[in-house]
Structure 1
Amino acid sequence: MACITKKHATALVEKSLVRDMYALALILSVAALLAAAKMAHRNRKPLGRDVARLLGVTVFPILGNLLLLFAKSIGEAQTAYFLFLAGTDLMFLYLIRFVVNGCHFHGRYEGVHRVLVCITAVDVAQIALNPVFGHAYRAERIVLPDGGIYFELLSGTGYVLHMLLACVYLVVIFIALAVKIFRTPMLYAEKYLIVFGAILLTTVWQFVSIFSHWQMDTSMIGYAVCGLIIFYFSLYYKPAFLLQRMMHYIVSNLSNAIFFFDLDGNCVYANQSALDIAGAADELQVEKKISALRELLGFSREDLLHDFERDVETEKGRFYHVEYHVLKDRLGKNTGVFFSIQDRSEEERRTRRELYRANHDLMTGLYNRDGFCEKVRELLDRAAKEGRSTEDDAGFRIVVTNICNFKMINELFGKNKGDYVLQEFVRMLKENARDGSVFARLGGDRFGIFCRSDGCDEANLEKSLYTITHILGKEAFPIITHVGIYEITEPELAVTLMIDRATMACSSIRGEYNRRIAYYDSNLRSSLLWEQKVVGELDAAIESGQIVPYLQA
């Protein structure tokens, strides 16, 4: 009986340990490929299904090598080699499909794919028939010096045909990838180059393993690594350099000012618009002017603890929309801060001009009727909010003025002279009103004033009304003006109703030349309502004979 030396026993243990570690590596490779295949199958990209199939069939040659490690008989070894060879056929078939779809070489590929499926099926069939004819390969049992068993593959005609087919598939794959790389800009070709390199290295590793007659085909690890590389770069990879260039191009050409600061307060990026606002030449100067920038935009250090968004008007009349965000990583940790500052000065000025035109009379510069109503309502609501009442203080009033026969002035003296009269009339109204009064041109020759009840000197106003009578000269057309006043006792009324009541008072003295100012009260309202009732019933009274009109010759 042979005696096993201590050195020989140690070598046997080491060989067994290496085999077990390699088997564990293969098992982990299979698990990783299956997990990646499941993820690829769930991926919404069109290429996801192709990648899932490719990773799924890559498991078969690895399982074949795993089975070969523990084979105890020639039958088990032949089954393991069949699993490996048939698996590589399927792997190459789906690898071609992945490359064609991934490189967008669709065209007439569906017809070609059917041919490839037929060729692959024939090769798998001839390998499957090897136990019957023995034409492809045979497994020879070899006992190693350390007592281990190794089944070496002895190639036949079928195996040579299989290798030739594999080489043809590889050539097609490499040509397709090379064409795609050549036609694609370098920024986008990066992932195709990596896939090309992974397949090439795995192929070289495989051929070295075949011709070296290694007892353990370590190139199976390369199969798994290559499959995972294809999985990542086809479904999840985003070229960082390309994204960085694109983001830099987009941000640098934005009209918004963009600032990025790190956690230490250092400015890591500022586009040209940001440098212009900060008055800096580069990011380093921005850091030196950050205090001035905070003062310009009106925010404090406490504001910078949270995201905010606000509109800012500077002392120099510039308008900015400021957005501030604290940047966080996927774990929720702060990584820096981001400023976006949009200069809205022109837009704001244009909006204000349009709003001014919508609410003002362009000739006199006063509010128009709509603008006047909005402003008066705002002031009344503010007074109510502040607790004022018409009983405790002087209260407010609406004053409406009307220039009699103003159309005659335009017809006799021309529009320019009429505009001159209106402007002088406005000047007179402002001179006799208290500060804080609101003026409006209600339309044509009618003007409105909102003021405190003690804010209009009636004696001076009436004197001015007589003075403006001869603004066109004593010999010229006299200008007669009437004024109606409504004391606001019901501030909740619509402002338009208040204007109407002051207008009623003004209309009540129409045609009178000695009386220029009238007040609205309940008696005036009753009188006007009675007058309207009489006028409304006049036709019916005439028709019924209650009133008989007589014509005097």
Structure 2
Amino acid sequence: MKSTYTIIFTCMALIQAICVYITKKSKRKIAPDWILPTSISLIPTLANVAITLSQSTQVCNWAYAVFYASLTWLLLIMAYFFAKFTAYEKIPKQIKIVLTALAAIDSLSMLLNPILGHAYQCYGSLNQYQEVCIVTRGLLGFKIHLILSYLLSILSFAILIRKICISPSVYWRKYLTAIGSLFAVILWDALFVLKKTVIDTSIIGYAIACAMITYFAIISKPHILINSLLGKVAAYTSNMIVFFDIDGICVYANEPAKKFLGIDDGSLDKCKELLEEITGQKIEVEKNENYTKTIATNKNPVAHLQVEYRTIFHNKKTEGVFFQMQDATESVNRYRKEKYLATHDPLTGIYNRETLFKNAEEKIHAAPETSFYVLAIDVKNFTLLNDMFGRETGDTVLKKMAFLFPSKKLPNVLYGRLEGDKFGMVLSKEDFESNVAELRHIGWQIGTLLRKRHYSVTLLIGIYRTGENDISIPTMFDRALIAIDSIKNSGDAKIAYYDEEMRQEMVWEQQIVTEFSNAIASRQFEIYLQPQADREGRIVGAEALARWNHPQKGLIPPIHFIPVLEKNGLISKLDFYVWEQTCIILQKLKRMDKNDFYISVNISPKDFYYTDVAQSLIDLVAKYEIDCKNLRLEITESVISTDLEMKLPLLDRLQVLGFIVEMDDFGSGNSSLNMLKDIRVDVLKLDMGFLYRAKDLERSRIIIKQIILMARELGIQVVTEGVETQAQADFLRSVGCDVFQGYYFGKPVPLEKFFSQMLP
């Protein structure tokens, strides 16, 4: 019999060890709290194995000590575990300290019993099979041990019963299992104590309780709870849920579904017909269909319905189908709004840049044989319009443009807003050529918005013509915009066609701008001097001109880089460079005792805005210790045609200091008698082109003569530019011209050549 119990106890220990392993591998939140109780439960079981195997009173005495001591700790830790298991965290800290201290004292008492013999006595006894078994007789210390054990058990009972009282019945199962297991163990142990059987079999109850709690707390899923919660989810969700059995009969519809379908519990048989009408699809359970789709409905306020249809299986057999439906009106409307905002310009309501590019690509690729025009349309001086009338008026103009684009005469046009005041359009060559007047008319119609305010709106149109080996759509529009740039400063042109020369000009402009700073730093700009001669032909001065000696491109003429620098606000840096280099040359001439030799330098209109012209010139003259009169300053009418009140005092200041101010290109159209009336200059530079362009040569000669006479009357010296022949020089001498400049007297030359061949 003892061997049978030994096997049973060993099996129980094995079960408990498996529980420990399963708990350790589990990822459930409660698993770490259950590892310690399951591990400690092994100790009394193994102690019982030792008791049944041994016939030595001393060995059994120690085994019983371990058995009773470990049971105390097991019951205490089980109570703490049940507190965690039931989410009860309100055991006061002081009580925990007291209980732990009592458990420690009791276990120490049990472990000292083999020495002191105060808690129980061990003695041999024969069982019914005449086998010697070592049993115990409880003393006072053992009774105290029993009281503590029962108190700890009652604490666990109290924690579990409290949880049952405050929880819905669907949660009771796992707590009742724990209570039942604990109650069975205590009852089993009490019967052993009362009957005083030879072998304590109550340990089997501990092992079974350990396995039961491990199963319900760690292994099993709460199917009853899950099914109950799912049932309530179906009942309480705002989604509409309908179930059909395998015969297609409606067995359940929650309240939202019944309300939407307009039925009650007594008319569930109408569900199938109603849902088939709404979804437009037959409900055939045997087909095992599954789908999710959004449909439009005529049931206000539900304009759109998201329908999910699923077949339910159990063991690979169809159990029925269900519908889950929800009002998708808000989400559909939100999606449409987001899609609209993602594809349309928020101000004008037409396609935005990205959508225009996408649709343009589709349109052009869909008709490879058709020649298309890609248009960029820009409102000329739109920034000024905004500044004069306010951004609100500017926005109104843009919206009016977008409104006018979808013309009946241009039904196949694709249009959108590129950015700011720039719009894009794609249409066939034939449509454009036959309706170009309609596009101009759009500009006229927009102009009516501001006509009462005496402001004319002008549309500039750049056109890129598609070809065989075409580029990307964004690049097409970029090139159409390049075409617009070519006419922005034109007074008459409204339409420009892109050609490769425009692109080359832009590439060239970019190269100039990119390389300019390095060119200044590395002194790639060289000063050329063009001589000026007096009436006797002596070289008395020169004009300083800049030439770019590029390391790869060679000598670049000014016409190729000066306009670029002016356009990009870099001309003032070049002018300052020329001024300083000229001062260095004048310093050299001074050292050569050429104190009366002068050099003229140009002042550009933008110099007044990017630098302090007067102070810069004064500082340079002081730095190189030259005379102000030797550094002459050439200006044109365009220099002072704006902000006259600001610039005139600066020029007066320079003249007072001794600088000589020259009016350049007089007679070329850029200077006039009107400006001469307002500005006190020292020198007039008369352009001989005035004479060349005249139809009546004699008439032009008379005008030139009178200009020179007028200048002499005003005390202004005259320098004539563009003198190329002996005859021109003789004529100018005869009418009183003082100084001459032109190819007849010398072309612009580098410094070395000027000093070696032309300097007197």
Q: How far is 1:56 from its partner?
A: 0.7
Confirm whether residue 117 of structure 1 aligns to residue 104 of structure 2: yes
The Cα offsets for residues 233-272 of structure 1, whole Å up to 9 and x where unpaired, read as 4544665555455555566665566677888888787666
My pick for the range that moved more, 285-294 or 106-115, is 285-294
CA distance in 2, matches of 1:321, 1:135: 75
Residue in structure 2 matched with residue 51 of structure 1 by the alignment: 37
Amino acid at match of 1:56: L
Q: How far is 1:60 from its partner?
A: 3.6
Residue in structure 1 matched with residue 564 of structure 2 by the alignment: 536
CA distance in 2, matches of 1:149, 1:116: 37
Amino acid at match of 2:124: A
The Cα offsets for residues 198-231 of structure 1, whole Å up to 9 and x where unpaired, read as 2222322333344446576654443332232343
Residue in structure 2 matched with residue 96 of structure 1 by the alignment: 76
Alignment of 1:46-195 (within 5 A): 46-60=32-46, 62-63=48-49, 66-67=52-53, 75-76=55-56, 83=63, 86-103=66-83, 104=89, 105=91, 107-108=93-94, 109-110=96-97, 112-126=99-113, 136-141=121-126, 148-151=129-132, 156=137, 158-159=138-139, 161-179=141-159, 181-182=161-162, 185-187=166-168, 191-195=174-178
Any conservation in 1 of the 2:24–2:32 contact (CA below 8 Å)? no
CA distance in 1, matches of 2:564, 2:382: 29
Determine which structure has the larger strand proportion and give its number. Answer: 2
Amino acid at match of 2:15: A
Q: How far is 1:449 from its partner?
A: 1.7
Amino acid at match of 1:552: S
CA distance in 2, matches of 1:372, 1:298: 46
Do the aligned partners of residues 537 and 465 (structure 1) sit closer, same or farther apart at CA in structure 2, a change above 3 Å counting?
closer
CA distance in 1, matches of 2:21, 2:160: 28
Amino acid at match of 1:90: S
Secondary structure of the 2:431 match is coil
Q: How far is 1:32 from its partner?
A: 1.6
Q: Which has the larger radius of gyration?
A: 2
Any conservation in 2 of the 1:89–1:166 contact (CA below 8 Å)? no
Any conservation in 2 of the 1:58–1:227 contact (CA below 8 Å)? no
The TM-score normalised by the length of structure 2 is 0.53
The TM-score normalised by the length of structure 1 is 0.68
Do the aligned partners of residues 402 and 432 (structure 1) sit closer, same or farther apart at CA in structure 2, a change above 3 Å counting?
farther
Q: How far is 1:97 from its partner?
A: 2.2
The partner residue of 1:498 within 454, 477, 501 is 477
The Cα offsets for residues 269-327 of structure 1, whole Å up to 9 and x where unpaired, read as 7666666777776787656656556647999998947xx8x774648796677778888
Alignment of 1:472-511 (within 5 A): 472=448, 481-489=459-467, 491-495=470-474, 497-501=476-480, 504-505=483-484, 508=487
CA distance in 1, matches of 2:50, 2:181: 22
CA distance in 2, matches of 1:59, 1:228: 13
CA distance in 2, matches of 1:546, 1:408: 29
CA distance in 2, matches of 1:46, 1:62: 27
CA distance in 2, matches of 1:224, 1:242: 27
Q: How far is 1:90 from its partner?
A: 2.0
Residue in structure 2 matched with residue 353 of structure 1 by the alignment: 337
Any conservation in 1 of the 2:109–2:141 contact (CA below 8 Å)? no
The Cα offsets for residues 155-214 of structure 1, whole Å up to 9 and x where unpaired, read as 64x446424522431133213431553266234665444323322223223333444465
CA distance in 2, matches of 1:196, 1:37: 21
Q: Which runs of 5+ in 2 are unaligned?
A: 84-88, 510-558, 576-600, 604-633, 637-663, 674-760
What is the alpha-carbon root mean square deviation over aligned residues? 5.4
Any conservation in 1 of the 2:401–2:442 contact (CA below 8 Å)? no
Residue in structure 2 matched with residue 6 of structure 1 by the alignment: none
The Cα offsets for residues 51-75 of structure 1, whole Å up to 9 and x where unpaired, read as 22332123146426744xxx8xxx4
Any conservation in 1 of the 2:9–2:46 contact (CA below 8 Å)? no
The partner residue of 1:552 within 650, 666, 672 is 672
Secondary structure of the 1:454 match is helix
Q: Which runs of 5+ in 1 are unaligned?
A: 1-15
Q: How far is 1:411 from its partner?
A: 9.8
Amino acid at match of 1:113: T
Confirm whether residue 440 of structure 1 aligns to residue 426 of structure 2: no
Q: Larger RCO: Structure 1 or Structure 2 (Cα < 8 Å, ≥ 6 residues apart)?
A: 1
CA distance in 2, matches of 1:274, 1:435: 47
Any conservation in 2 of the 1:327–1:338 contact (CA below 8 Å)? yes
CA distance in 2, matches of 1:202, 1:492: 87
Residue in structure 1 matched with residue 611 of structure 2 by the alignment: none
Alignment of 1:210-289 (within 5 A): 210-212=193-195, 219-236=202-219, 239-247=222-230
Confirm whether residue 449 of structure 1 aligns to residue 425 of structure 2: yes
Secondary structure of the 1:455 match is helix
Any conservation in 2 of the 1:263–1:335 contact (CA below 8 Å)? yes
Residue in structure 2 matched with residue 199 of structure 1 by the alignment: 182
Do the aligned partners of residues 64 and 459 (structure 1) sit closer, same or farther apart at CA in structure 2, a change above 3 Å counting?
closer
Any conservation in 2 of the 1:86–1:127 contact (CA below 8 Å)? no
CA distance in 1, matches of 2:318, 2:48: 45
The Cα offsets for residues 17-75 of structure 1, whole Å up to 9 and x where unpaired, read as xx8766654443332223223434555633233222332123146426744xxx8xxx4
Any conservation in 2 of the 1:297–1:312 contact (CA below 8 Å)? no
Do the aligned partners of residues 487 and 203 (structure 1) sit closer, same or farther apart at CA in structure 2, a change above 3 Å counting?
same
CA distance in 2, matches of 1:543, 1:189: 101
Amino acid at match of 2:75: L
